[in-house]
Amino acid sequence: MAVSLGRQDLLSDISDKDLTKISETLVNDGDPEPVNRAISWATAEVAKYVAGYVVPEEQEAGYVRGLAIWRLFMRLRDEVPAKWKEEKERIYGELRAIRDGKFTGLDLGETGSAETRSGRGRWGSWARINPHRLGRYTS
């Protein structure tokens, strides 16, 4: 499930003053909507890792907030504060664990199944691609 966040949602993790300063700097550099673009990027990034799993909305929103704020700092081309570097590493560590199925207690979503997620899908099995089975060749 994809979360939908806006500028106001980031204010739980960064001050309005800091967010406004970053936003104004990036707008002056030519990006008309830096906050929305950072949120969109972070939402897509998180979705890549949690696809196929049901992640609680609050947890997923926290990942998006953290990555969006890190992305904004990174785009300033200044040194990203250590707090946000560490937060990015923590988030990616958890996202990789989710992707790899190491988080216990997360249900598989509608698009995932234990058989296909483990790499044992059957779409290319020999029984399906064997031309003799299809009657095209005779020996």
Q: Which of 48, 29, 37, 30 is nearest to 91 (CA)?
A: 48
| pLDDT of 127 | 52
| pLDDT of 112 | 47
Residue 53: strand pairing partners: 108
The residue ranges of every structural domain in the chain are: 7-129
List, for the chain, all residue ranges whose pLDDT scores fall below the cut of 70.
1-2, 110-139
Render pLDDT for 110-138 as a digit per residue (tens, 0 to 9).
654 444 444 444 445 555 555 555 555 55
| pLDDT of 128 | 53
| pLDDT of 77 | 80
DSSP-based three-state secondary structure for 107:
strand
